[in-house]
Amino acid sequence: MTDGKDQISRFYLEHLKAEWQEVVSIDCPFCRDHGYENPGRMTIFLKQDSFFYGYFRCHNRCVPGGFPLWFAHLAAIPFTDVPGYTTDLEAVPEQPEYPIDNINDEIHGYRDRIIDPIYSLFKQSCITKSTLTEMQIGFNGRYLVYPYFQEDDNCYSARCVYPDKNDDFFWHGHQDFTAEPYNLFNRRDIHHCENGALFVCEGENNLLTLKQLGFPGVAVSHFTGLEKLSARLFDKVKTVFICAVNSKESETAAKNLASRIGYKARILSWDVNVSSHYSLWDLAKDSGKSFGQKMSEMVRKSRAFSPFHSPGLEHDLFVDNLRKEQSEDYLKLSSGFPLLDNALGGIHGINVVGGAPKVGKSTFMIQIATEMALKRIPVLYYDFENGRQKIYQRTLSRLSRLATDQFSALDNENKRSRFDVANEKLKNLLFFMRVINDRKVTPEIMRKHIDFIRHETRNEYTVVVIDSLHKLPFNEFSEQRTGIDAWLRQLESIRDELHVSFLVISELSRGAMGSYRDAPHLGVFKGSGDIEYSADNAMVLFPDQSQDDEVDLTSDSGNSLWLVASREHSPGRVADYRLDYPFWGFTEHSI
């Protein structure tokens, strides 16, 4: 509807006896009651596709502007006559016990002490005396005084700021009212904007530029205040515009606030060409009379905060991932075992490998991890089983084709040469492979490790090996299964957010007769029903020896590897792996 037949238009037109227009201009009905001999003009915005549909303001600033519920309050109109009113809006949150004493008289005194140079300072950004009077900005002879009025219309604290030096300030008044939840400048406007729109600014002066234009809003003194604002403050506001200073810290704080407020928050973004720490104050100073037009453009371009990517960005990400999956770095994510790589399409996603004790799971994983590092693939190896020294010794043994007990007796040139070549390879691969033994690792620490090695190696893909799942620290979880499932949820998030591939060792449960000889299937994994949901590939190393329990890795032993569950590949026997004794590695053989 665009002809005044909508409910909000009818509400105003009936009570003001006016004719409909998209922007109605009439004599203000409140001016005389507030001491004005001649009423100023009142503007009411009735364009339905505007964020400020239903907003009214008096150009004399006799009352704060607002939306229909605030108009009804000022005009003593029953709230039941207001479109959109529900009894839920009548519920008033419990008010704090305000002190008996306030600093209202001091604020009035400071307001009357503003001198011409101070007015000139604000005039640079087109802020007039009437705006400063409305907001009761004062001057104590040295510092500007910004009063922080509370919901009971009294002021108990004020922030005093040296002109043009925002970091030179102090609080005046009751100490209790200098911190959350009271340190919100012009907080009374929240009440005036029920069922409407409101600006949240960083910096009192930036809010003043909006008040000059007639917009409603509140402000925090510093971007850290955005981090601490309660989203509940804005429960009754339909749209919240967040205006932060152009800096990374402020942008992050604004996004954090928007995420708490939800879909009705809209962040005003800056042009890419503006300088760091640029603000609305600067924009008003640079724009002059066109400031209002530029603000309208920023509001128009703002987008509702959403937990989802825009459809265009989602498609761009999809195409980008397709491109990445054809890149050399992605295709290099392979184990070095051709039959295994063929069965899985390379090492991608979360790959869980289970096996009986001493079957060679760690040896198998160390071989894969080091071979990937030799191909310059970044690998993080979380080891809770063997220790760095054993991992390095076994790798050196495999690379040099020398048993570990031969390292101390390199009795011929051939052995010495093999050792030196292998040792140089080990040294080089350790730039790409980091072994972590920290038993206090958390998902947050793991993310930091991933970020570091990606930055260090200039590679966006990372492989994380966990030896083993059942020895990860579970922190506050009293039950191992709960802790394992929580870690699996975290691994899923890291996989998706950071393009990480996982190789995870898992223990197996004993079968009905107390052995590990049950045929490989998904149910043999120990302690977690979530493996079947989290793992992209679940595999079992199954010994080909006859003993029921531990496998002897000091003999010519071997295993078959079974893929027991996969999101994209057919389950079945992958290959056989024969221990390359005594060189701590396996050789792959077809079935």
At 254, is the secondary structure helix, strand, or coil?
helix
- Say how many residues make up the chain: 591
CA pseudo-torsion sign 314, 319, 324, 326:
positive
pLDDT of residue 325: 84
What's the CATH architecture for 328-539?
3-Layer(aba) Sandwich (3.40)
Q: Where in the chain is the domain with CATH 3.40.1360.10?
A: 104-304
284-339 pLDDT per residue, tens: 999 999 999 999 999 999 988 776 777 888 888 889 888 888 888 888 899 999 99
Q: How far apart are CA 346 and CA 341, in angstroms?
A: 5
How far is Cα 187 from Cα 149, in angstroms, rounded to an integer?
7
Angle between the N-to-C axes of helices 361-374 and 413-429, in degrees from 0 to 180, rounded to the nearest 10:
80
Residues of the chain with CATH 3.90.580: 7-90
State the pLDDT at residue 88.
62
- Cβ(450)–Cβ(496) under 8 Å? no
Beta partners for 381?
Answer: 435, 465
- Look at domain 104-304 and name its CATH class: alpha beta
Q: Which residues on adjacent β-strands are paired with residue 576?
A: 560, 589
571 burial class (0-12, 13-18, 19+ CB within 10 angstroms)?
Answer: middle
CA–CA separation, 218 vs 159, rounded Å? 15
> What span, in angstroms and rounded, lies between the C-alpha atoms of 467 and 368?
13
For 253, half-sphere exposure in the C-beta direction (CA atoms, 13 angstrom radius) is 23
Pinpoint the residues of the chain covered by CATH 3.40.50.300. Answer: 328-539
Q: Are 151 and 102 in contact (CB under 8 A)?
A: no
Successive 10-residue mean pLDDT values, the chain, 591 residues = 80 94 95 91 94 96 96 95 76 74 96 94 95 96 96 95 92 93 95 96 97 97 94 94 96 93 94 94 95 95 80 86 86 94 96 89 97 97 94 97 92 94 97 94 94 94 94 69 86 93 89 61 67 90 63 66 93 94 94 82
Chain center to CA of 285: 33
Phi, psi of 231 (to 5 degrees): -65, -25
Neighbours of 11 (CB within 10 A): 19
H or E stretch covering 77: none
Please give the DSSP secondary-structure letter assigned to residue 275: P
- DSSP bridge partners of 273: none
By C-alpha distance, which of 536, 528, 533 is closest to 506?
A: 528
Among 3.90.580, 3.30.9, 1.10.3470, 1.10.10, name the CATH number for the domain at 7-90. Answer: 3.90.580
Q: How many CB atoms are closer than 10 A to CB 236?
A: 17
**Closest-CA residue to 205 (of 116, 283, 312, 310):** 283
pLDDT the model gives residue 313: 81
pLDDT of residue 548: 47
Q: Which amino acid is at 540?
A: V
Q: What is the DSSP string of 236-250?
A: T-SEEEEE--SSHHH
pLDDT digits (tens, 9 = 90+) for 552-571: 555 567 899 999 999 999 99
Separation of alpha carbons 406 and 398, rounded Å: 12
Q: Could you give the CA distance from residue 398 to residue 247 in angstroms, rounded to a whole number?
A: 52
Q: Which two tokens stand for residue 154?
A: 């009294």
- Phi, psi torsion values for 252, nearest 5 degrees: -65, -45
